[in-house]
Chain A
Amino acid sequence: MSEACTSRELMIYTISRLLKGVRHVAVGQSSPMPAAGAMLLRAINQRDGLEHVQVSILGSVKHNSFTGGAEELFDCAAQGRLDAFFLGGGQIDGQGNVNLVGTGDYPNNPVRWPGSFGSAYLYFLVPRVILFREEHSLRSLVERVDFVSAPGVTDETVYRRGGPHALLTNAALFSFEREAGRFRLESTHPGHDWRDIRGTTGFAYDNEQCEATTPSPDEATLALIRGRIREELRECYPQFAGNMPGPC
Protein backbone atom coordinates (compact mmCIF):
# COMPACT_ATOMS: atom_id res chain seq x y z
CA MET A 1 0.00 0.00 0.00
CA SER A 2 1.56 3.33 -1.03
CA GLU A 3 1.61 6.52 0.99
CA ALA A 4 -1.81 8.24 1.05
CA CYS A 5 -2.57 10.91 -1.56
CA THR A 6 -1.24 14.29 -0.42
CA SER A 7 -3.20 17.54 -0.66
CA ARG A 8 -0.99 18.64 -3.57
CA GLU A 9 -1.51 15.37 -5.42
CA LEU A 10 -5.26 15.77 -5.02
CA MET A 11 -5.00 19.26 -6.56
CA ILE A 12 -2.82 18.01 -9.41
CA TYR A 13 -5.37 15.28 -10.13
CA THR A 14 -8.25 17.77 -9.90
CA ILE A 15 -6.51 20.07 -12.39
CA SER A 16 -6.22 17.16 -14.82
CA ARG A 17 -9.97 16.55 -14.44
CA LEU A 18 -10.75 20.22 -15.07
CA LEU A 19 -8.72 20.07 -18.27
CA LYS A 20 -10.53 17.06 -19.69
CA GLY A 21 -11.27 17.58 -23.40
CA VAL A 22 -8.78 20.38 -24.09
CA ARG A 23 -6.52 20.12 -27.14
CA HIS A 24 -3.97 22.72 -26.08
CA VAL A 25 -3.20 23.89 -22.57
CA ALA A 26 -0.49 26.38 -21.62
CA VAL A 27 1.04 26.90 -18.20
CA GLY A 28 2.75 30.12 -17.10
CA GLN A 29 5.96 30.59 -15.12
CA SER A 30 6.16 29.60 -11.45
CA SER A 31 3.20 27.21 -11.68
CA PRO A 32 4.38 23.72 -10.75
CA MET A 33 0.98 22.27 -9.86
CA PRO A 34 -0.84 23.47 -12.98
CA ALA A 35 2.12 22.15 -14.99
CA ALA A 36 1.79 18.80 -13.21
CA GLY A 37 -1.97 18.70 -13.82
CA ALA A 38 -1.53 19.39 -17.54
CA MET A 39 1.24 16.79 -17.81
CA LEU A 40 -0.99 14.31 -15.98
CA LEU A 41 -3.86 14.75 -18.44
CA ARG A 42 -1.40 14.27 -21.30
CA ALA A 43 -0.06 11.09 -19.69
CA ILE A 44 -3.53 9.70 -18.90
CA ASN A 45 -4.77 10.34 -22.43
CA GLN A 46 -1.67 8.72 -23.86
CA ARG A 47 -2.07 5.72 -21.57
CA ASP A 48 -5.74 5.30 -22.43
CA GLY A 49 -5.34 5.89 -26.17
CA LEU A 50 -7.35 9.13 -26.05
CA GLU A 51 -6.68 12.30 -28.08
CA HIS A 52 -3.27 13.95 -27.88
CA VAL A 53 -3.03 16.96 -25.55
CA GLN A 54 -0.60 19.71 -26.52
CA VAL A 55 1.03 21.02 -23.35
CA SER A 56 3.03 24.26 -23.51
CA ILE A 57 4.99 24.87 -20.32
CA LEU A 58 6.53 28.34 -20.29
CA GLY A 59 10.07 28.12 -18.99
CA SER A 60 10.55 24.62 -20.36
CA VAL A 61 12.75 23.62 -23.26
CA LYS A 62 11.35 20.07 -23.49
CA HIS A 63 7.66 20.77 -22.97
CA ASN A 64 7.24 23.81 -25.19
CA SER A 65 7.17 23.77 -28.97
CA PHE A 66 6.78 27.53 -29.58
CA THR A 67 9.43 28.88 -31.93
CA GLY A 68 8.08 32.44 -32.10
CA GLY A 69 9.27 33.55 -28.67
CA ALA A 70 7.10 34.56 -25.74
CA GLU A 71 4.69 36.47 -28.01
CA GLU A 72 3.56 33.26 -29.66
CA LEU A 73 1.51 32.16 -26.64
CA PHE A 74 -0.44 35.42 -26.77
CA ASP A 75 -0.93 35.20 -30.53
CA CYS A 76 -2.13 31.61 -30.15
CA ALA A 77 -4.63 32.74 -27.53
CA ALA A 78 -5.91 35.57 -29.73
CA GLN A 79 -6.52 33.15 -32.58
CA GLY A 80 -8.37 30.61 -30.48
CA ARG A 81 -5.56 28.06 -30.61
CA LEU A 82 -5.32 27.79 -26.85
CA ASP A 83 -8.08 26.12 -24.85
CA ALA A 84 -6.92 26.44 -21.25
CA PHE A 85 -4.60 28.48 -19.06
CA PHE A 86 -4.08 29.10 -15.34
CA LEU A 87 -4.09 32.23 -13.27
CA GLY A 88 -3.19 32.56 -9.62
CA GLY A 89 -3.87 35.68 -7.70
CA GLY A 90 -2.97 37.14 -4.36
CA GLN A 91 -6.65 38.02 -4.17
CA ILE A 92 -9.61 36.57 -6.07
CA ASP A 93 -13.08 37.99 -5.56
CA GLY A 94 -16.64 36.73 -5.95
CA GLN A 95 -17.01 38.28 -9.44
CA GLY A 96 -13.94 36.41 -10.65
CA ASN A 97 -11.69 39.48 -10.57
CA VAL A 98 -8.04 38.63 -10.06
CA ASN A 99 -5.42 40.75 -8.28
CA LEU A 100 -1.77 39.92 -8.94
CA VAL A 101 -0.44 43.36 -8.00
CA GLY A 102 -0.85 43.89 -4.28
CA THR A 103 -3.00 44.86 -1.31
CA GLY A 104 -3.96 48.40 -0.33
CA ASP A 105 -3.69 51.44 -2.58
CA TYR A 106 -1.77 51.49 -5.83
CA PRO A 107 1.00 52.44 -6.59
CA ASN A 108 2.58 52.29 -3.11
CA ASN A 109 0.98 49.00 -2.10
CA PRO A 110 2.05 47.96 1.41
CA VAL A 111 2.13 44.37 0.16
CA ARG A 112 3.29 44.13 -3.42
CA TRP A 113 3.16 40.94 -5.52
CA PRO A 114 5.09 40.35 -8.75
CA GLY A 115 2.55 41.87 -11.15
CA SER A 116 -0.20 41.11 -13.64
CA PHE A 117 1.88 39.04 -16.13
CA GLY A 118 -0.38 38.14 -19.09
CA SER A 119 -3.59 37.97 -17.05
CA ALA A 120 -5.25 41.18 -18.29
CA TYR A 121 -5.17 39.74 -21.80
CA LEU A 122 -5.42 35.95 -21.53
CA TYR A 123 -8.49 36.14 -19.26
CA PHE A 124 -10.41 37.53 -22.24
CA LEU A 125 -9.20 35.07 -24.83
CA VAL A 126 -8.70 31.63 -23.30
CA PRO A 127 -12.02 29.76 -22.96
CA ARG A 128 -11.08 27.75 -19.88
CA VAL A 129 -9.08 29.80 -17.39
CA ILE A 130 -8.56 27.85 -14.19
CA LEU A 131 -7.99 29.99 -11.13
CA PHE A 132 -5.57 28.23 -8.88
CA ARG A 133 -4.77 29.49 -5.41
CA GLU A 134 -3.52 27.06 -2.78
CA GLU A 135 -4.35 29.28 0.17
CA HIS A 136 -8.07 29.21 0.99
CA SER A 137 -8.58 32.09 3.41
CA LEU A 138 -10.45 35.31 4.01
CA ARG A 139 -7.35 37.16 2.91
CA SER A 140 -7.00 35.40 -0.47
CA LEU A 141 -10.70 34.96 -1.37
CA VAL A 142 -12.17 38.42 -0.84
CA GLU A 143 -15.41 40.25 -1.50
CA ARG A 144 -13.66 42.82 -3.70
CA VAL A 145 -10.04 42.79 -4.88
CA ASP A 146 -7.89 45.85 -4.08
CA PHE A 147 -6.60 45.99 -7.66
CA VAL A 148 -8.10 44.42 -10.78
CA SER A 149 -5.30 42.82 -12.78
CA ALA A 150 -7.91 41.04 -14.87
CA PRO A 151 -11.70 41.41 -14.63
CA GLY A 152 -13.93 38.34 -14.31
CA VAL A 153 -16.77 39.66 -16.46
CA THR A 154 -17.08 42.27 -19.22
CA ASP A 155 -19.89 44.04 -21.06
CA GLU A 156 -20.79 43.17 -24.64
CA THR A 157 -18.87 46.08 -26.26
CA VAL A 158 -15.63 44.25 -25.53
CA TYR A 159 -14.45 41.19 -27.43
CA ARG A 160 -14.36 38.31 -25.01
CA ARG A 161 -14.50 34.57 -25.49
CA GLY A 162 -12.53 33.57 -22.43
CA GLY A 163 -12.77 33.85 -18.70
CA PRO A 164 -12.89 32.01 -15.40
CA HIS A 165 -13.90 28.35 -15.60
CA ALA A 166 -13.14 27.10 -12.09
CA LEU A 167 -11.43 28.08 -8.86
CA LEU A 168 -9.33 25.46 -7.12
CA THR A 169 -7.81 25.89 -3.64
CA ASN A 170 -6.30 23.46 -1.14
CA ALA A 171 -9.74 23.09 0.45
CA ALA A 172 -12.39 23.20 -2.28
CA LEU A 173 -13.37 23.38 -5.93
CA PHE A 174 -15.74 26.02 -7.33
CA SER A 175 -17.08 26.44 -10.84
CA PHE A 176 -17.76 29.91 -12.30
CA GLU A 177 -21.19 30.77 -13.65
CA ARG A 178 -20.50 33.32 -16.38
CA GLU A 179 -24.09 34.48 -16.81
CA ALA A 180 -24.51 35.20 -13.12
CA GLY A 181 -20.90 36.29 -12.62
CA ARG A 182 -20.65 34.14 -9.48
CA PHE A 183 -18.87 31.08 -8.19
CA ARG A 184 -20.62 27.83 -7.29
CA LEU A 185 -19.19 25.41 -4.75
CA GLU A 186 -18.73 22.05 -6.51
CA SER A 187 -16.94 19.97 -3.87
CA THR A 188 -14.85 20.16 -0.73
CA HIS A 189 -11.56 18.28 -0.42
CA PRO A 190 -11.26 15.35 2.03
CA GLY A 191 -10.89 16.74 5.55
CA HIS A 192 -13.00 19.86 4.82
CA ASP A 193 -16.77 20.39 4.84
CA TRP A 194 -19.02 23.13 3.51
CA ARG A 195 -19.07 24.92 6.89
CA ASP A 196 -15.27 25.31 6.86
CA ILE A 197 -15.48 26.66 3.34
CA ARG A 198 -18.19 29.17 4.22
CA GLY A 199 -16.07 30.36 7.12
CA THR A 200 -12.89 30.83 5.11
CA THR A 201 -14.34 32.30 1.90
CA GLY A 202 -14.72 36.07 1.83
CA PHE A 203 -17.32 36.26 -0.95
CA ALA A 204 -20.86 35.02 -1.56
CA TYR A 205 -21.30 31.95 -3.81
CA ASP A 206 -23.96 29.45 -4.81
CA ASN A 207 -24.54 25.92 -3.48
CA GLU A 208 -23.14 26.81 -0.06
CA GLN A 209 -24.26 23.60 1.63
CA CYS A 210 -22.45 21.38 -0.84
CA GLU A 211 -21.94 17.82 0.45
CA ALA A 212 -19.84 16.52 -2.46
CA THR A 213 -16.24 15.48 -1.80
CA THR A 214 -13.51 16.09 -4.37
CA PRO A 215 -12.55 12.69 -5.79
CA SER A 216 -9.03 11.38 -5.13
CA PRO A 217 -6.86 9.72 -7.78
CA ASP A 218 -6.83 5.92 -7.99
CA GLU A 219 -3.61 3.95 -7.35
CA ALA A 220 -2.60 3.88 -11.02
CA THR A 221 -3.02 7.65 -11.40
CA LEU A 222 -1.15 8.29 -8.16
CA ALA A 223 1.68 6.12 -9.44
CA LEU A 224 1.75 8.18 -12.63
CA ILE A 225 2.04 11.42 -10.60
CA ARG A 226 4.84 9.98 -8.45
CA GLY A 227 6.70 8.52 -11.39
CA ARG A 228 6.45 10.10 -14.83
CA ILE A 229 4.99 13.47 -13.79
CA ARG A 230 7.52 14.00 -11.03
CA GLU A 231 10.32 13.33 -13.51
CA GLU A 232 8.81 15.62 -16.17
CA LEU A 233 8.51 18.43 -13.60
CA ARG A 234 12.17 18.20 -12.63
CA GLU A 235 13.40 20.26 -15.58
CA CYS A 236 11.54 23.45 -14.61
CA TYR A 237 10.68 22.82 -10.97
CA PRO A 238 13.53 20.87 -9.39
CA GLN A 239 12.72 22.00 -5.84
CA PHE A 240 9.02 21.24 -6.13
CA ALA A 241 9.64 17.84 -7.73
CA GLY A 242 12.19 17.01 -5.05
CA ASN A 243 9.57 17.58 -2.35
CA MET A 244 6.98 15.32 -3.97
CA PRO A 245 6.57 11.72 -2.82
CA GLY A 246 8.46 9.42 -5.19
CA PRO A 247 7.64 5.99 -6.58
CA CYS A 248 7.15 3.32 -3.91
Chain B
Amino acid sequence: MTEFVTPQKMAEMIPSGCKLGLAPDDYGASPRLVRMLIDRGIRDLHVVCAPIGGMQVDMLIGAGAVATLETSAVSLGEAGGAPCFSRAVRDGSIRLRDATCPAVFAGLTAAEKGVPFMPIRGIIGSDVLEKRDDWKVTSNPFDDGEQIVVVSAIQPDIALFHAPEADRFGNVRLGRRREVMLLAHASKKAFVTVERISDVSLLEDEKMAAGVLPAIYVSAVAQLQNGGWPTGLYAEYPRDGQEIEKYARAARSPEGFLAYVRDSRSAA
Protein backbone atom coordinates (compact mmCIF):
# COMPACT_ATOMS: atom_id res chain seq x y z
CA MET B 1 0.00 0.00 0.00
CA THR B 2 2.65 2.50 1.10
CA GLU B 3 5.65 2.82 -1.19
CA PHE B 4 9.07 3.21 0.41
CA VAL B 5 11.19 5.40 -1.84
CA THR B 6 14.33 7.49 -1.85
CA PRO B 7 13.91 11.24 -1.30
CA GLN B 8 14.97 11.81 -4.93
CA LYS B 9 12.26 9.44 -6.15
CA MET B 10 9.69 11.17 -3.92
CA ALA B 11 10.62 14.52 -5.43
CA GLU B 12 10.06 13.06 -8.90
CA MET B 13 6.64 11.73 -7.84
CA ILE B 14 5.34 15.25 -7.18
CA PRO B 15 4.29 16.68 -10.55
CA SER B 16 4.33 20.28 -11.69
CA GLY B 17 0.87 21.83 -11.60
CA CYS B 18 -0.43 19.83 -8.65
CA LYS B 19 -2.23 21.15 -5.61
CA LEU B 20 0.36 20.64 -2.88
CA GLY B 21 -0.54 20.83 0.81
CA LEU B 22 2.34 21.80 3.12
CA ALA B 23 2.71 21.85 6.90
CA PRO B 24 4.10 24.94 8.69
CA ASP B 25 7.78 25.41 9.49
CA ASP B 26 8.73 23.60 12.71
CA TYR B 27 5.52 21.51 12.65
CA GLY B 28 6.08 19.10 9.84
CA ALA B 29 7.65 21.25 7.14
CA SER B 30 9.93 19.26 4.85
CA PRO B 31 12.34 21.87 3.49
CA ARG B 32 15.00 19.40 2.40
CA LEU B 33 12.55 17.58 0.14
CA VAL B 34 11.26 20.95 -1.04
CA ARG B 35 14.85 21.82 -2.01
CA MET B 36 14.87 18.74 -4.22
CA LEU B 37 11.64 19.89 -5.87
CA ILE B 38 13.32 23.21 -6.61
CA ASP B 39 16.45 21.51 -7.93
CA ARG B 40 14.40 19.46 -10.35
CA GLY B 41 12.63 22.60 -11.60
CA ILE B 42 9.05 22.01 -10.44
CA ARG B 43 6.54 24.62 -11.73
CA ASP B 44 2.94 25.89 -11.54
CA LEU B 45 2.16 24.58 -8.08
CA HIS B 46 -1.00 25.46 -6.25
CA VAL B 47 0.39 25.55 -2.72
CA VAL B 48 -2.00 25.15 0.19
CA CYS B 49 -0.37 26.20 3.47
CA ALA B 50 -1.96 24.36 6.37
CA PRO B 51 -2.46 26.95 7.64
CA ILE B 52 0.66 29.13 7.24
CA GLY B 53 3.93 29.05 5.33
CA GLY B 54 7.52 29.85 6.17
CA MET B 55 10.94 29.31 4.71
CA GLN B 56 10.11 26.33 2.50
CA VAL B 57 7.19 28.20 0.92
CA ASP B 58 9.30 31.34 0.47
CA MET B 59 11.95 29.25 -1.30
CA LEU B 60 9.38 27.66 -3.61
CA ILE B 61 8.09 31.14 -4.49
CA GLY B 62 11.62 32.47 -5.01
CA ALA B 63 12.35 29.58 -7.36
CA GLY B 64 9.32 30.47 -9.48
CA ALA B 65 7.59 27.19 -8.66
CA VAL B 66 4.32 28.64 -7.33
CA ALA B 67 1.38 29.78 -9.48
CA THR B 68 -1.25 30.00 -6.73
CA LEU B 69 -0.70 30.42 -3.01
CA GLU B 70 -3.45 29.72 -0.51
CA THR B 71 -2.30 30.75 2.96
CA SER B 72 -3.14 32.58 6.17
CA ALA B 73 0.38 34.01 6.37
CA VAL B 74 3.95 33.57 5.22
CA SER B 75 6.64 34.51 7.73
CA LEU B 76 10.15 33.54 8.79
CA GLY B 77 9.26 33.95 12.47
CA GLU B 78 12.02 35.63 14.49
CA ALA B 79 13.94 36.16 11.23
CA GLY B 80 11.19 38.51 10.00
CA GLY B 81 9.18 38.79 6.80
CA ALA B 82 9.40 36.34 3.91
CA PRO B 83 11.37 38.17 1.22
CA CYS B 84 10.50 36.17 -1.92
CA PHE B 85 6.83 36.14 -0.93
CA SER B 86 6.77 39.94 -0.52
CA ARG B 87 8.50 40.38 -3.86
CA ALA B 88 6.11 38.04 -5.65
CA VAL B 89 3.13 39.90 -4.16
CA ARG B 90 4.48 43.22 -5.47
CA ASP B 91 5.26 41.79 -8.91
CA GLY B 92 1.94 40.00 -9.12
CA SER B 93 3.76 36.83 -10.11
CA ILE B 94 1.64 34.59 -7.86
CA ARG B 95 -2.12 34.33 -7.59
CA LEU B 96 -3.01 34.96 -3.96
CA ARG B 97 -5.78 33.41 -1.95
CA ASP B 98 -5.41 35.00 1.46
CA ALA B 99 -7.11 33.06 4.22
CA THR B 100 -7.40 32.92 7.99
CA CYS B 101 -6.06 29.85 9.83
CA PRO B 102 -9.31 28.31 11.09
CA ALA B 103 -10.90 28.72 7.63
CA VAL B 104 -8.11 26.62 6.13
CA PHE B 105 -8.77 24.00 8.79
CA ALA B 106 -12.51 24.21 8.08
CA GLY B 107 -11.88 23.68 4.35
CA LEU B 108 -9.62 20.72 5.06
CA THR B 109 -12.19 19.32 7.51
CA ALA B 110 -14.87 19.52 4.80
CA ALA B 111 -12.59 17.52 2.47
CA GLU B 112 -11.81 15.07 5.27
CA LYS B 113 -15.51 14.45 5.80
CA GLY B 114 -16.31 14.40 2.09
CA VAL B 115 -18.77 17.29 2.30
CA PRO B 116 -18.67 20.33 -0.02
CA PHE B 117 -18.30 23.07 2.60
CA MET B 118 -18.02 23.84 6.27
CA PRO B 119 -19.57 26.71 8.25
CA ILE B 120 -17.29 28.86 10.39
CA ARG B 121 -17.72 31.73 12.85
CA GLY B 122 -16.34 35.22 12.43
CA ILE B 123 -14.76 36.58 9.23
CA ILE B 124 -17.81 38.65 8.18
CA GLY B 125 -16.83 42.28 7.60
CA SER B 126 -13.22 41.45 6.76
CA ASP B 127 -11.57 42.08 3.41
CA VAL B 128 -10.26 38.51 3.60
CA LEU B 129 -13.84 37.40 2.91
CA GLU B 130 -14.34 40.04 0.19
CA LYS B 131 -11.42 38.64 -1.80
CA ARG B 132 -12.47 34.98 -1.67
CA ASP B 133 -14.95 33.81 -4.30
CA ASP B 134 -14.92 30.32 -2.77
CA TRP B 135 -16.21 31.55 0.59
CA LYS B 136 -19.81 32.69 0.98
CA VAL B 137 -22.08 34.22 3.58
CA THR B 138 -25.31 32.35 4.15
CA SER B 139 -28.12 32.32 6.71
CA ASN B 140 -28.03 29.76 9.43
CA PRO B 141 -30.64 27.24 8.14
CA PHE B 142 -31.82 26.79 11.74
CA ASP B 143 -31.96 30.52 12.55
CA ASP B 144 -32.71 32.97 9.72
CA GLY B 145 -31.58 35.89 11.84
CA GLU B 146 -27.96 34.79 11.82
CA GLN B 147 -25.44 35.21 9.03
CA ILE B 148 -22.58 32.73 8.85
CA VAL B 149 -19.62 32.08 6.54
CA VAL B 150 -19.21 28.81 4.65
CA VAL B 151 -15.88 27.85 3.08
CA SER B 152 -15.55 25.31 0.30
CA ALA B 153 -13.68 22.06 0.81
CA ILE B 154 -9.90 22.10 0.30
CA GLN B 155 -8.54 18.86 -1.12
CA PRO B 156 -4.85 18.93 -2.02
CA ASP B 157 -3.65 16.39 -4.58
CA ILE B 158 -0.64 15.67 -2.42
CA ALA B 159 0.21 16.50 1.18
CA LEU B 160 3.95 16.66 1.78
CA PHE B 161 5.32 16.76 5.31
CA HIS B 162 8.11 15.61 7.56
CA ALA B 163 7.54 13.46 10.66
CA PRO B 164 9.71 11.92 13.37
CA GLU B 165 8.99 8.30 12.57
CA ALA B 166 7.28 5.80 10.28
CA ASP B 167 7.14 2.03 10.64
CA ARG B 168 7.86 -0.45 7.87
CA PHE B 169 4.10 -0.80 7.29
CA GLY B 170 3.69 2.86 6.38
CA ASN B 171 2.14 4.13 9.62
CA VAL B 172 3.48 7.54 10.62
CA ARG B 173 3.76 8.96 14.14
CA LEU B 174 2.57 12.58 14.36
CA GLY B 175 1.89 12.77 18.09
CA ARG B 176 0.08 15.94 19.03
CA ARG B 177 0.34 17.51 15.58
CA ARG B 178 -3.25 16.73 14.68
CA GLU B 179 -3.36 19.51 12.08
CA VAL B 180 -0.86 17.48 10.03
CA MET B 181 -3.15 14.47 10.47
CA LEU B 182 -6.03 16.62 9.19
CA LEU B 183 -3.98 17.68 6.18
CA ALA B 184 -3.22 14.04 5.40
CA HIS B 185 -6.85 12.97 5.82
CA ALA B 186 -8.03 15.76 3.51
CA SER B 187 -5.50 15.17 0.72
CA LYS B 188 -5.75 12.57 -2.04
CA LYS B 189 -2.27 11.31 -1.20
CA ALA B 190 0.23 11.91 1.58
CA PHE B 191 3.99 11.83 0.94
CA VAL B 192 5.98 11.76 4.14
CA THR B 193 9.68 12.20 4.85
CA VAL B 194 10.78 10.79 8.21
CA GLU B 195 13.77 10.84 10.52
CA ARG B 196 13.71 7.08 11.07
CA ILE B 197 11.82 3.92 10.15
CA SER B 198 10.83 1.48 12.87
CA ASP B 199 10.65 -2.29 12.37
CA VAL B 200 7.93 -2.54 14.98
CA SER B 201 4.40 -1.39 14.12
CA LEU B 202 3.61 1.99 15.66
CA LEU B 203 0.05 0.79 16.18
CA GLU B 204 1.12 -1.95 18.58
CA ASP B 205 1.58 0.41 21.50
CA GLU B 206 -1.87 1.59 22.58
CA LYS B 207 -0.31 4.61 24.32
CA MET B 208 1.03 5.84 21.02
CA ALA B 209 -1.59 4.65 18.53
CA ALA B 210 -3.90 7.68 18.76
CA GLY B 211 -1.07 9.90 17.53
CA VAL B 212 -0.33 7.71 14.52
CA LEU B 213 -1.47 8.39 10.97
CA PRO B 214 -2.41 4.96 9.61
CA ALA B 215 -0.84 3.73 6.38
CA ILE B 216 -4.29 3.91 4.70
CA TYR B 217 -3.54 7.58 4.02
CA VAL B 218 0.17 7.32 3.35
CA SER B 219 1.15 6.83 -0.30
CA ALA B 220 4.89 7.14 0.08
CA VAL B 221 7.54 7.34 2.80
CA ALA B 222 11.16 8.41 2.35
CA GLN B 223 13.75 8.41 5.09
CA LEU B 224 15.44 11.80 5.20
CA GLN B 225 17.35 12.54 8.36
CA ASN B 226 17.20 16.14 9.51
CA GLY B 227 14.52 16.64 6.84
CA GLY B 228 13.01 19.54 8.76
CA TRP B 229 16.27 21.53 8.69
CA PRO B 230 16.80 24.44 8.82
CA THR B 231 13.33 24.74 10.35
CA GLY B 232 12.61 22.58 13.38
CA LEU B 233 10.66 19.42 13.98
CA TYR B 234 8.16 19.54 16.83
CA ALA B 235 9.48 17.93 20.03
CA GLU B 236 12.53 16.57 18.12
CA TYR B 237 14.82 19.47 17.27
CA PRO B 238 14.59 23.28 17.27
CA ARG B 239 14.98 25.46 14.21
CA ASP B 240 18.43 26.58 13.17
CA GLY B 241 17.84 30.28 13.75
CA GLN B 242 21.22 31.31 12.35
CA GLU B 243 20.65 29.51 9.08
CA ILE B 244 17.19 31.04 8.68
CA GLU B 245 18.69 34.50 9.41
CA LYS B 246 21.29 33.78 6.77
CA TYR B 247 18.55 32.88 4.31
CA ALA B 248 16.52 35.97 5.23
CA ARG B 249 19.50 38.22 4.51
CA ALA B 250 20.43 36.48 1.28
CA ALA B 251 16.90 36.37 -0.14
CA ARG B 252 16.44 40.14 0.13
CA SER B 253 17.50 40.28 -3.52
CA PRO B 254 16.65 37.79 -6.30
CA GLU B 255 20.38 37.36 -6.95
CA GLY B 256 21.04 36.67 -3.27
CA PHE B 257 18.26 34.10 -3.25
CA LEU B 258 19.70 32.29 -6.26
CA ALA B 259 23.17 32.32 -4.70
CA TYR B 260 21.77 30.88 -1.45
CA VAL B 261 20.00 28.07 -3.27
CA ARG B 262 23.10 27.32 -5.37
CA ASP B 263 25.47 27.29 -2.38
CA SER B 264 23.23 25.34 -0.05
CA ARG B 265 22.79 22.68 -2.74
CA SER B 266 26.52 22.07 -2.91
CA ALA B 267 26.62 21.83 0.90
CA ALA B 268 23.80 19.29 1.08
List chain A positions with a Cβ less than 8 A from chain B: 29-30, 59, 61, 66-72, 74, 78, 100-102, 106-125, 147-151, 154, 157-160, 237-240
Q: Does chain A have a CB within 8 A of B146? A: yes
Q: Which of B64-80 contact A (CB under 8 A)?
A: 71-75, 77-78
Q: Are A68 and B74 in contact (CB under 8 A)?
A: no
Q: Are A117 and B77 in contact (CB under 8 A)?
A: no
Q: Are A121 and B182 in contact (CB under 8 A)?
A: no
Q: Are A114 and B177 in contact (CB under 8 A)?
A: no
Q: Are B100 and A117 in contact (CB under 8 A)?
A: yes
Chain A positions within 8 Å of B71 at CB level: 115
- Per CB-CB distance, the 3 closest pairs between chain A and chain B, nearest first, are A69-B178, A115-B73, A124-B122
Known pairs A117-B101, A159-B121, A239-B241; A71 contacts B182 (CB<8 A): yes
Chain B positions within 8 Å of A124 at CB level: 121-123
Please measure, in the bound complex, the distance between the C-alpha atom of A116 and the C-alpha atom of B125, giving whole angstroms: 14
Known pairs A148-B127, A238-B241; A107 contacts B81 (CB<8 A): no
Please measure, in the bound complex, the distance between the C-alpha atom of A243 and the C-alpha atom of B131, giving whole angstroms: 40
Q: Does chain A have a CB within 8 A of B266? A: no
Q: Does chain A have a CB within 8 A of B128? A: yes
Q: How many residues of B contact A (CB 8 A)?
A: 54
Please measure, in the bound complex, the distance between the C-alpha atom of A111 and the C-alpha atom of B81, giving whole angstroms: 11
Known pairs A30-B78, A67-B176; A107 contacts B89 (CB<8 A): yes
Q: Are B77 and A112 in contact (CB under 8 A)?
A: no
Chain B positions within 8 Å of A122 at CB level: 122
Please measure, in the bound complex, the distance between the C-alpha atom of A160 and the C-alpha atom of B124, giving whole angstroms: 10
A151 CB → nearest B CB, Å: 4
Q: Is chain B's interface secondary structure helix, strand, loop, or mixed overall?
A: mixed
Which of A67, A69, A123 has a CB less than 8 Å from the CB of B182?
A69
Q: Are B148 and A159 in contact (CB under 8 A)?
A: yes
Please measure, in the bound complex, the distance between the C-alpha atom of A102 and the C-alpha atom of B128, giving whole angstroms: 12
Known pairs A69-B176, A149-B128, A159-B121; A114 contacts B145 (CB<8 A): no
Q: Is chain A's interface secondary structure helix, strand, loop, or mixed overall?
A: loop
Please measure, in the bound complex, the distance between the C-alpha atom of A147 and the C-alpha atom of B129, giving whole angstroms: 11
Q: Are A114 and B82 in contact (CB under 8 A)?
A: yes
Q: Are A114 and B74 in contact (CB under 8 A)?
A: yes
Which of A109, A114, A151, A157 has the most chain B CB atoms inside 10 A of its CB?
A114
What are 20 A-B pairs at a CB distance below 8 A? A30-B78, A68-B176, A68-B178, A69-B179, A70-B24, A70-B51, A71-B109, A101-B128, A106-B131, A112-B81, A114-B74, A114-B75, A115-B72, A117-B52, A118-B100, A120-B128, A124-B121, A157-B147, A160-B122, A240-B78
Q: Are B103 and A121 in contact (CB under 8 A)?
A: yes
Q: Does chain A have a CB within 8 A of B98? A: yes
C-beta contact mask, B1-27 vs A, less than 8 Å → 1, else 0?
Answer: 000000000000000000000001011
Q: Which of B215-245 contact A (CB under 8 A)?
A: 234-235, 241
Which of A70, A108, A123, A237 has a CB less than 8 Å from the CB of B90?
A108
B148 CB → nearest A CB, Å: 7
Please measure, in the bound complex, the distance between the C-alpha atom of A68 and the C-alpha atom of B89, giving whole angstroms: 33
Residue of B nearest to A61 (CB): B235
Please measure, in the bound complex, the distance between the C-alpha atom of A125 and the C-alpha atom of B74, giving whole angstroms: 24
Q: Are A120 and B100 in contact (CB under 8 A)?
A: yes
Which of A59, A71, A115 has a CB less than 8 Å from the CB of B74?
A115
